[in-house]
Amino acid sequence: MRMTFLGAAGAVTGSKYLLELGSRRVLVDCGLFQGVKRLRERNWQPLPLDPRSLDAVLLTHAHIDHSGYLPVIAREGYRGPVYCTDATRRLLSIMLPDAARLQEEEAEFANRHGFSKHAPARPLYTEADARAALALLHPVAPHSDLAICAEARASYSHAGHLLGAASIRIEAQGESILFSGDLGRMRDPLMRAPDPPPAADWVVIESTYGNRLHSGVDPEAELAPPLDRALARGGVVVVPTFAVGRAQLLLHLIARLKARGAIPDAPVYLNSPMAEDATPLYQDYPDEHRLGAAELAAMSRVAHFVKSVEESKALNTRVGPMIILSASGMATGGRVLHHLKAFAPDERTLILFTGFQAAGTRGAALLAGADTIKIHGEWVPVRAQVLQLHGTSSHADYRELVAWLAGSPRVPRRVFVTHGEPAASDALRQHLRRALDAEVTVPEQGERFSTL
Ligand SMILES: [Zn+2]
C-alpha cells in the first residue's frame, strides 16, 4: 500500500489522498483548495496522475473542500465510480452545481468589471462538468461492506460532522487504513456524535482544531447575549454561514432562543437557495441528527427564505433589527458579500462567524480586526462588531479528536495528521503522541509513504 498526500497537507482545504494498492489506484476525497491565492492556484495545476487511471474515488462528505474538484476529474475523463453515502449524494446534487455556478459567476463578474488579472477570466469548471460528476455517484450504506475492486474493500461509518459525513476504512491485502474525514463534536446540538473508530493499521486524522478547545461551550448560551445586544440597538446581524450544516444549526438555535424570549422577535432571513434546498433533507435522514419532528418544523419556520436576487438586493435597503444568514461561511463568495458591503460600514451591525475561518479568507481578515475588506474589487470600510462563535463549530476540538482515536479497539501503527493549519496539525501530533503509543506524522503536500 502506498499513500500520497495530494491536498489538506499543511492546510485545511483540498483534501485528496491517493492510495495505490498494488496496481490499483483509489482517490479518497477530491476536494477544492480554498483560501489564500497560493492554495487556490493549486486548483489550476494538473494532478500528478491521469484521472482516467483511477479505479475508484471515495468521498468522506459533501463539503466542497472534500468534493469540489470532482467536476475537474470528470471533465478530464474519469468515468469510474465515486462512492459516498446517500445523504452525501443528495447534498452534492445541490452543492456541486452551485459551486460551478459560483465559479462561472465570478469569472463573468470579473470580466464585466475588468478587475481580473487574467483576460478573459475563465471558470475552473462549469455546471455541465458538475452534472457529469454527479452522474458518477454511487451511494453506500454506512457499516456495509463495499468491494472497491478485487483487491480492496471499504466500510463507511458516521462522522457526525454533516449530513452523510463518514469516516472510511479501507482494507487491502491484510492491511488497513482509516480516514477520519471531518469529525463532528461529541455533543453537537444538531448532529449525532461520531461512531467510534474501527481498528486500522494506519489512520489519517483531521486537525482543524488540533490546537483549540471548544467542547465546553454551550452554543445557545454563547449566541444569546451578542445577538440580543445587536438586535436591541437596531442592528443588522449578518451571519456568513455554510449553507449546509451550520445554517440549519443557527436556525435551530435562533428558533429556541426566540421561543423562550431570550432575543427580540426580529425578522430572520435565510438568503441562500442552497441552504433552503438542504433544510428538508434533515427529515429524510433522521439517524444522522438529534432533532425530532417538532424541532425540525420550528427550524424550518423561523426564517423567511429569500428566493430571488431582487429580494436579496432589497434586503440591503432595509434597516435593522434583523438577522441575515447567507453563504459563504468564510465570506469567500456568494450573496453574503453584498450584505457585508451594505452593512459592514455601520457600527450597529454585528458580523457573526459560526465556523472555522481558513487563512487568507475575508472571514479570517475580519476576525483579525481588518478595518477595510476588499469586495468585488472595492475597499469596504468595516465599523461593524465582528465576533466568532466557538460552540457552533462542526469540528471536534483536540480533546475530542484524541478521545475519538483513543477509543479505537487497538492502537494504530502509524497516524497521519492532516487537514489543519501547520500549528494546529503539529499541536495535535504532540497531543496524540502523548496519548497513544504510535508513530505520528504531519505529512507535507505531495509526500508519499509506503507500507506498513
Ligand atoms: Zn467538512
Output the pLDDT for position 178: 98
Q: What is the pLDDT of residue 108?
A: 85
Distance 61 CA to ligand 1 centre (A): 7
Same domain membership, residue 401 and residue 381: no
Whether the per-residue pLDDT at 59 is higher than 90: the answer is: yes
**Contact criterion met (CB below 8 Å) for 366 and 170:** no
Instruction: Identify the pLDDT of residue 311.
Output: 95
The alpha carbon of 193 and the centre of ligand 1 are apart by a number of angstroms equal to 15
What's the rounded Cα separation, in Å, for the pair 90 and 281? Answer: 8
Classify strands 322-326 and 268-271 as parallel, antiparallel or unpaired: parallel
Distance from the CA of 447 to the center of ligand 1, in angstroms?
22
CA 209 to centroid of ligand 1, rounded, Å: 12
Sheet holding 166-172, edge to edge: 146-149, 152-158, 166-172, 175-179, 202-206, 414-418, 439-441
Identify whether residues 226 and 245 lie together within a single domain. yes
Which range among 9-13, 194-198, 401-405, 428-432 shows the weakest confidence by mean pLDDT?
A: 9-13
pLDDT at 107: 85
Element (H, E) at 112: helix 86-113
Structural domains of the chain, count: 2
Q: Can you tell me the distance from the alpha carbon of 135 to that of 127, in angstroms, rounded to the nearest whole number? A: 13
Calculate mean pLDDT across residues 168-195: 96
Q: 30 C-alpha vs ligand 1 centroid, how far in Å?
A: 12
* pLDDT surpassing 80 at residue 297: yes
Q: Which three cell numbers stand for residue 87?
A: 445523504
DSSP letter at 184 equals -
Please tell me the predicted confidence (pLDDT) of residue 194.
98
Confidence of residue 111 (pLDDT cuts 50, 70, 90): confident
Domain boundary among 388, 406, 437: 388
The grid coordinates listed for 373 are 475588506
Residue 72 burial class via C-beta count within 10 angstroms: exposed 0-12, middle 13-18, buried 19 and up: buried
pLDDT exceeds cutoff 80 at 238:
yes
Q: 251 alpha carbon to ligand 1 midpoint, in Å?
A: 19
223 CA from centroid of ligand 1 (Å): 22
Query: CA nearest 238: which of 381, 343, 328?
Result: 343
Do 334 and 261 belong to one domain? yes
pLDDT at res. 452: 52
Taking the centre of ligand 1 as the mean of its atom positions, its distance from the CA of residue 161, in whole angstroms, is 7
Q: How far is the CA of 182 from the centre of ligand 1 (A)?
A: 5
Q: Are 178 and 52 members of one domain? A: yes
Q: Is the same domain home to 75 and 196?
A: yes
Bigger pLDDT: 81 or 122?
Answer: 81
Return the CATH number at 76.
3.60.15.10
Are 132 and 41 part of one and the same domain? Answer: yes
List the CATH number of the domain containing 223.
3.40.50.10890
- Would the pLDDT of 113 be above 70? yes
Domain boundary among the residues 340, 355, 388 is at 388
Between CA 278 and CA 247 the distance in angstroms is: 10
Residues 339 and 356 in one domain: yes
Q: How far is the CA of 183 from the centre of ligand 1 (A)?
A: 8
- Confidence band (pLDDT; 50, 70, 90) for 356? confident
Cα of 184 from ligand 1 centre, angstroms:
9
Q: How far is the CA of 13 from the centre of ligand 1 (A)?
A: 9
pLDDT band at 117 (very low <50, low <70, confident <90, very high): low
Please indicate, yes or no, whether residues 331 and 353 belong to a single structural domain of this protein.
Answer: yes
Q: Residue 165 C-alpha to ligand 1 middle, in angstroms?
A: 8
**Residue 118: per-residue pLDDT:** 64
What average pLDDT score do residues 151-171 get? 97
Q: Are residues 270 and 383 in the same domain?
A: yes
Cα of 153 vs centre of ligand 1, distance in Å, is 24
pTM: 0.92
Same domain, 368 and 409: no
Which residue in this structure is represented by grid cell 470580466? Answer: 111
pLDDT digits (tens, 9 = 90+) for 76-101: 999 999 999 999 999 999 999 999 99
Burial class (CB in 10 A: 0-12, 13-18, 19+), 112: exposed
Instruction: Indicate if the pLDDT at residue 353 is higher than 60.
Output: yes
Range of the domain at 66: 2-212+394-450
CA of 23 to the centre of ligand 1 (A): 30
Last residue within a domain, chosen from 388, 415, 430: 388
Ligand 1 mean position to 63 CA, how many Å?
A: 5
- What is the 438 CA–ligand 1 centroid distance (Å)? 26
Give me the percent of the chain exceeding a pLDDT of 70. 98
Compute the distance from residue 226 Cα to the ligand 1 centre, in Å. Answer: 26
Q: Examine the domain organization and report whether 155 and 94 are in the same domain.
A: yes
Mean pLDDT, rounded, of the chain: 94
Same domain, 271 and 401: no
